[in-house]
Amino acid sequence: MPDLATPLIAWYRDNARDLPWRRPGFPAWGTLVSEFMLQQTPVNRVIPHLEAWLARWPAPVDLAADPPAEAVRQWANLGYPRRALWLHRAATEIRDRHGGVVPHDVDALLALTGIGDYTARAVAVFAYGRRHPVVDTNTRRVLARAVEGRSQPGTPARRDLSAMEAILPPDDDAAGIVNAAAMELGATVCTARTPRCAACPLSATCAWRAAGYPDTGDARRRQARYEGSDRQARGAVLRELRDAAHDLPQESVLAGWPDALQRDRAIDSLVSDGLVEASEGVLRLPGWVSPRPRRGA
């Protein structure tokens, strides 16, 4: 296999974006929060939310001290709000199991709510400088093209970690840079639809380029349409509850929604996910305490 680490490191040093979680001294808690927020959400949307979150809750114990309703409210329009609930639970677990300090061990991180293999490795590598392969969608695309000669990666698999491990240098710091560089390259140059191959540091050894850029198919999962979906209805229910300073009668929430069955389905699913609590015909965010429900409001 050609040496990919050396050109990746050199390119990254000159081209990496200035992102908050890459700055010296950025806390491990901030790295963990950023990884939760970056799941299926663009960087430019995440940064202001991340800054506001850390200003309000600079450490896990600060978030754990507030009810989960506040996490859901602060999450605002980031989407996939279960991440806010999971992050609150993870903060509580960090407080109770790890003395308020985000753990550095991958297995300990995996034991926290809402943390999968990617996030656990990302925190261990980027917050603590541990040597592990870290693979996201962008990394998988870079490896598929540069190493395997495919236009798009296949479905995620454990072999992706082995492929990334194979290009990592032995030094911990250098390995961390290569992990970050592969992600950055996939996000800014080796993009899914319009790769800028002339600007790629791997162009001289890229297997896909050498093969003449063949279309080898695309097995990526397509995201369902948002407009008119249950996801949109769920978001609308949460928005009403976030904006309210009190509990709301269930019949008043999304009362004008065009599909009553979809509205009810959205509420039921939110209750099932723990994002909404329902009691005696009243809805509230989880753990939210108000003096008395304002019926008819």
Any idea which residues carry the catalytic annotation? Answer: 35
Residue type, 293: P
Residue 120: how many CB atoms within 10 A of its CB?
A: 23
- According to DSSP, residue 284 is labeled E
Which residues lie below 8 Å from residue 161, measured CB to CB, with a gap of 6+?
Answer: 117, 133, 135
Instruction: Enumerate the H helices of 39-158 as residue ranges.
Output: 43-56, 60-64, 68-75, 82-98, 106-110, 117-126, 137-146
What b/e readout covers 71-81, taking b as 16+ CB neighbours within 10 angstroms?
A: bbbbbbebebb
Burial of 124 from C-beta contacts in 10 A (0-12 / 13-18 / 19+): buried
Residue 283 CA to residue 297 CA, distance in Å, equals: 13
